Structure 1
Amino acid sequence: MNSIVDNPVYGDELQFIQLRQKGQSKTAYRTTAQAQIGQTYEIVIYYENSAAPNKEAARDVRVGVSYPEVVNGAAAVQAMITSTNTTPKAVWSFVGIDVGSGTFASLAPVDGSAVLHTNGEMEGRKLKVKDLVSRQGALVGCDQLNGIISGESRCSGYITFDVRVDEIPRPNFTVTALGNPGSSSSDLTKTPAIKVGNEIRFRVEYKNVGNIQQDNVTVSASGLDSDFSAVPSSMGIRNSKTVAEHPNEKYVPLSRNPAIERVNIGSYAPGGNCFITFTMKTSDSGKFSYDKGERFAWIKFKVETEAGWKEDTVTVVIFGPQQKVITPGP
């Protein structure tokens, strides 16, 4: 099967699978494609009994296709033609599909798209896609779907079917928490230093870096013990919705404080983000009645989604009433 490298009609029969974008009938079939997510590609598989017409016909001829479940950047789609009485009993050929570095995709054969083309009675016969992509492959034929392919030119043929390239849903997000004792965003740091009795502002950013929408995103904080108290009306939220509805306000007031309860900040499409800010005040509680030594508070900010959760930590350095505040280095 498929042993001629200079077929006057098809060319090299050893490269018997090719593809092109669906609907591009004026574009030649190729052995590779820079595929786009959401597009459909037409695959063609050519078969022929290369033996002389007076030789025994190939029997139980089947055509099958296989491909990886996940295309990570690039992958090969393999076509295989098998017969029980030929030598060799199976031949293979490949085409390459490249969806781009860092992209994960799946290939979805389109039901009802597989068609057999031949000069025999089976011309235009629909094939079951599930048979084509099965381990056994789809049975082909010339005048019947009986797997018999003679060396007559009219019995050579090809199969066309469509494959859609779908992006695999991959939820992902980032959490960035910072704090500062001042009002300038430039003072935001992972290790803010303050004196006991002063206020500290926290800012948490959630960003959807996956490829699907994330719903019911929540933010909460832990590690804020009794030495921290919430500053009333200091909570604020900023996202695309608040910017659209309140263009003159950097942050829109938020009634709930993530330091006290878990706050639902809504739903976010890929690339969407949200900032939450609030202020806490430190108190002495007798821990800094002396003038030496400082203590650390590790404040954890947790973002939860339906696909999992992530945390980020701000390390607050608290100095006593008579101490000089020393800002830690990076």
Structure 2
Amino acid sequence: MFRFKAVARGNSKQINIFGDNRGEIDATTINLLYGYVQPKNIAIMALVAAIIAGGIIWGITRPSDSVDSLAVAYGSASTDGWGPDRITYSNGERPEYSKAPQTLNSVTDNPMHGDERNFFQIREAGGNHHWGDSVELQPGREYELSIFYANNTADKAIDFVRTRVQHPRTIKHKDAKVHKATAFVTAAQTVPAEVWDTVDLVNNTNGDITLLYKEGSARVTGNRDRTRPVEPSELFGAGTLVGVAEQPGTIPPGGDGFGTVVFTLKSVAPGFTFESAVQPGTTGNDFRTIIEAPHGSQVRVRLTYFNHGTTVQRKVTLKALFTESVQFVPHSAVLINANHRSGVQLKDGIANGGVQIGDYSPKTNAALYFTAFVYGPPCSQISLKSTIATPNGDSYDTVLVRISGQNC
């Protein structure tokens, strides 16, 4: 199916061009239209499209301000974990540059890979595990991830090709059981300019799981290229150049125009518990997860941390995320731990970027207290979210304050 979709942000117009009444245009029409896509020939392109396809549907709409779409061509995201929707080819009909735009990962029957749109896969490392689109995580194990990239143009190289990865660092058991990692392959002159695919990371355990990059594991291999290392800061950042070693970023045409980026993630159980609680007022010890408090009153928040793992957790950092309905009381943060059993006053970083509370050996703990004003209309609810960050993983917890009112 051919579909052209030019999408911009904000109030820009969106133009959809479809083929016949089923929204289809054959490959001949696509190639003909491609030859006319020049700034001076836009009117000719529209005329040719109307003559050949018949029943052209021109849909001009204005997206709402809430729409925040990628500027992509040939369609929107699919429902199969990859995207965007785009023109596809069989392995034996790769297009010539003069007849169709350059494309990445759009062959559906690659004899070495299968459907190239499904180019991001995962498996447990070691043993004889099969590549797939999902994996059930277990602490202490390692997982290999593979990104396949291919130049689908028969007679022209693609330059400045990059691949990058986004994945959640902590797979929480409190949230949805399935989280996604996403791989992107991009190039400036291809249509679409970026393709992506996802894998599912499943956490069916009773605790959080942290995924850490295994140092030195990322590498890229092309069909006619030796394996070479990849910088993780690039792979997990703006993207690493792939392709041939003598000309990074360039993928040749034809049978040599493919390669793979492989890296490993380690699955680690954070080895700590983190909880928050709140009480109305500033005295007493009636901490709960849900309380009621009057508008403009003070509440006291308690954050507790316990290292139940087997290693020292260093530079433990706590942070409170305040909304406009919550105002931190300066100089109210107090830390209690083995070194400060009577408590020590902390700087006000808990409300601005977080505060580091030290290193903790196995079976040690800490508690941090602070005070805040809460504001809101009667019967409204305020969510107080706090986070913890350690080298072994991150976590968060949330308490609720309901503003007092009649008939709540």
* TM-score normalised by the chain length of structure 1: 0.52
Note if contact 2:123-2:144 (Cα within 8 Å) is conserved in structure 1: yes
Q: Secondary structure at the match of 1:171?
A: strand
Deviations 1:29-78 (A, max 9, x none): 111001111211011110001111x1x32110001000123222331110
- Rg larger for: 1
Give the equivalent residue in structure 2 for 1:125: 228
- 1:94 and 1:8 map into 2 onto residues whose CA distance is 21
Corresponding position: 1:59 with 2:59: no
Q: 1:33 to 1:218 in 2, by over 3 A?
A: same
> Which structure has more strand as a fraction of its residues?
1
Give the equivalent residue in structure 2 for 1:294: none
1:100 Cα shift?
A: 1.9
Q: Secondary structure at the match of 1:306?
A: strand
Give the equivalent residue in structure 1 for 2:210: 106
Q: 1:172 to 1:219 in 2, by over 3 A?
A: farther
- 2:119 and 2:243 map into 1 onto residues whose CA distance is 17
Aligned length: 194
Of residues 241, 258, 261 in structure 2, which corresponds to 1:139? 241
Q: 1:173 to 1:269 in 2, by over 3 A?
A: farther
* TM-score normalised by the chain length of structure 2: 0.42
1:131 Cα shift?
A: 1.1
1:211 Cα shift?
A: 4.6
Give the equivalent residue in structure 1 for 2:220: 116
Corresponding position: 1:68 with 2:171: no
Amino acid at match of 2:168: P
Q: 1:46 to 1:268 in 2, by over 3 A?
A: closer
Q: Where does the alignment leave 5 or more consecutive residues of structure 2 unmatched?
A: 1-103, 277-304, 313-336, 343-360, 370-408
- 1:68 and 1:145 map into 2 onto residues whose CA distance is 32
Q: 1:144 to 1:209 in 2, by over 3 A?
A: same
Give the equivalent residue in structure 1 for 2:137: 35
> Which structure has more helix as a fraction of its residues?
2
Corresponding position: 1:155 with 2:215: no
Amino acid at match of 1:92: W
Give the equivalent residue in structure 2 for 1:11: 114
1:10 Cα shift?
A: 0.3
- Percent of aligned pairs with the same residue? 26
Deviations 1:275-327 (A, max 9, x none): xxxxxxxxxxxxxxxxxxxxxxxxxxxxxx42458xxxxxxxxxxxxxxxxxx
RMSD: 3.3
- 1:173 and 1:268 map into 2 onto residues whose CA distance is 18
Give the equivalent residue in structure 1 for 2:151: 49
